[in-house]
Amino acid sequence: MLKYIPVPVVDHDAILGIEFNKRFEKEMHDYYAPFVKKKRKVQLAKETWEYAVTDSIPQARHAGSGNSMIDVVTPTANIDVKGLSIKNLKTGLTTEASFLQILKKSGDTINTLFESNNFQGLKTMFVDAWLTKAKKAENVYLFVVVRELETKRVGYCLFKTETTDLTNTEFVQNMTIKGERGVHVPLMDSEFGATYINIAKRRLEIRLNPTNLSNYLVYSHTVG
C-alpha cells in the first residue's frame, strides 16, 4: 500500500528547486495583476495552481488533464497539484479536493456497498483504482496549496508517497464510517488530515489539518 507523508521544508529545494517560493510568488502575482488592476475579485481554478507550479520549477512541463494523476513533470519528480482553502488556519480541516471520481456505470453499486458495509468492495472501487494510477509514475509527490480566506494568505506543503507494510486485510480493517455518507481510508495519518470516500459524490477525497501541518507549511504570499 501507499501512504502520503509530509516532506520537511528543508527538503523542498531538492524537489522543487532552489528559490521555488520566490518564483511561485512572482507567477501568482503576475496572474493576480489584471484582476487587481480592474478591481475585480481574483478567480482561481485548479489549473491556475498547476500552471504556476510548472512555471516555477526549472525544466518542468505541465501534464494535467486526461486520466493521469500527474499535473507537473520535472526532471526529478512527478507532482499532483491540489488547491484547498480554509477560513482560518486554526479552524480545523480545509475544503476538499478529489483524487478520483467514478462516473462510469460501474460506480452505480457504491450505495449498495456502503449500506452493506462492504469496505473491501469500496477499497477495490476507489483505492485500488487510485493505486493503479499512482504506480504508473515514479517519485510521485502531492503539492497542496492552502489559502486562508480571512487573511488571503497563501501557503503550500508537499507530501511524498511512501510504501507501507499494511496488508490489504489490515487496510480494510482501518477503514471506518465518516459522518453519514463517507468512509475514512488510511492513506494519510489522521493528525495531518483526512482521506476518505465521499459516497454522494463518488469521489476519493482529501482534506488537510493546517494546524498540525504548521511545521511543514511554507508561507508564500497574499492574494492580490
> In terms of residue numbers, what domain contains 49?
2-222
Whether the model clears a pTM of 0.85, i.e. scores above it, the answer is yes
Convert the pLDDT of each residue in 148-186 to its tens digit. 999 999 999 999 999 999 999 999 999 999 988 999 999
The stretches of the chain forming alpha helices (DSSP H) are: 12-16, 20-37, 46-56, 110-115, 119-122, 128-134, 168-173
Convert the pLDDT of each residue in 172-223 to its tens digit. 999 999 988 999 999 999 999 999 999 999 999 999 999 999 999 999 999 9
Of 165, 185, 190, 164, residue with least CA distance to 174: 185
Q: How many domains does the chain have?
A: 1
